[in-house]
Structure 1
Amino acid sequence: MAQQPRTKPAPPATPESPPGKQNGQPTGPLAPPPAPTAVAPAEPSRRRHGRSPAILAILLVLLLATAAWWIGAGRPAPTQLLPWPWQEPAGPLVASGTLEADEILVGSEIAGRIVSLVQEGQPVQADQILAQLDDSLIQIQIRQANVAARQQLEVQLEHYRLRSPIDGVVMRVPMHVGEVVSPGQTVAAVADLSSLKLTAYVLERDLGQVRVGQPVAVTVDPFPDRTFPGVVTGINQRAEFTPRNVQTRSDRLNLVFGVRIRVENPEGLLKPGMPADATFLEP
């Protein structure tokens, strides 16, 4: 006889909640208000990260504005590196000195009394008489001598006339009319002022920038807007201290080399004794 399948018993019926309650909680007008839902605070790290781009943008704008102000005011940007005081830009070498004239000393070969004499600063030409010695005695001898003796005396007569060897200017006259000059004593000094001599003093560390034949531009205080051409003619082989009449006291304590320069002076504007600055040029 076939067996009937077993059926699962039905669960017991749950008693219905009384009116006004649901899940054991009162409902309706008497029910309490629902509890507020707590909101989790935002993470601090996220809040900081959100502000960083804005702060960086503001700082960048301020930095750019500051740089623009500096550049507009003619000042270097804050990021520009300024050179140290001793790192001056390289430029042409400049040295100082004093203009001088090449004087030719005119003296007497014999003793005699001066009866005429040129004045200091007087222009003279070559073979012009600078001083005349008293020749009255030899003139008498010439008149009394025969032909052969007269020729010899006329040669001696020329020693009583002191002549200029060049065209130039009388620079110094150490004698006076009426004085007796001795053999070899200087009566006058003559110089050609169309070209002058300048001895500029160069520090040892700068001597490599100077060479013989190098062109030079010379300036002097009386003519600040003019330059006078020159050329290096020689360099002293021995170092010396800067002369007292050149540069400052501290500069005079340096060892320097004298550089000889020939300066053209066709208009005669330059005078011996003038301080001058020499700028050494590249050929």
Structure 2
Amino acid sequence: MRWMRLGMGLAAAAVAAAAGWQFFRPSKVSVVAPMRGDAAEIVYASGVVEPLVWAKVTPVERERIVAHCNCEGQRVEKGHVLARLDTSQVDAMIAALKARLNLSREEYRRQSVLSERNVGSQQALDRARAEVVQFESLVAGQQARLEGYVLRAPGDGVVLRRDGEVGEVAEPGTGLFWVGEPTPLIVTADVNEEDIPRVSVGQRTLLRSDAFPGRTLEATVDRITPKGDPVTKAYRVRFRLPEDTPLRIGMSTDVNVVVRVAPNARIVPTVAVDGDRVFVVENGEARLRTIRTGIRGPAGIEVLSGLGDDTRIVSPFPAQLADRARVAVTAVTPR
């Protein structure tokens, strides 16, 4: 019994020692040192490349396409016929109205003769005259409507794109042609209303496009639409592209407006900062420290004070770690 009690006591002591070692052993953390570089305050948006001068040609009537110019990529002059829609129904209506107009004119002439002979009433003559005027207006209205069945170039330019084929039905408001000048090009983007006060004409802008991976392209803020959209809570901003830009009409881009640049700034990873707090490693302990920050970005944060260039910062920020907890550095994250 005595040996059994001794064995049990040794086992309990071993368990307690193991638990204590687990409790007091240092927490493993990775650290990173601040780096020096240019910190930029950026306003983000997404945009589309467009010509500065262009127009979309859409039909106003729902009808079948019977002809188109097949002039995509070619230069056209204002008024050039781009497409024609089927006018058979309108032509039939005009023919019927003209027949009614001829009958009303004959009736008006007959009533005029009767009125001159004093055998017809003035009321009948007025009624015949009104019918003539009515049918003349109806014929003129339908003839004017025929112009809507002809799609013309709204101005001089290049046919940038054509949609719709002969035989297809054109829907009102659907773009069939895009006519404009291929250059100069702009990027049109919607900027959130909370960011628009920081955007001004002339600011440098960096662009990224999936068509040119790893390549940073430049633009300049050209115009800001005075009225914002209260539904999307955004303002339309246009960015002027240089003449040698590789971007093409219709490409989508990520827009980064450079608001302010802090040169040679002390920068730490964003994931290492919780509000204005960081953990630093000193003498094998994690010390919670308050810092003063400046420009904040998705990857890095500018530190104005509270850290030195050689300070070792725990990254990412260990939310479960207590101040002055013992730590063991397992890795130094490269910057």
- In the superposition, the TM-score normalised over structure 1's length comes to 0.44
- In the superposition, the TM-score normalised over structure 2's length comes to 0.38
Larger radius of gyration: 1
Between 1 and 2, higher relative CO (CA 8 Å, sep ≥ 6) is seen in 2
More strand by share: 2
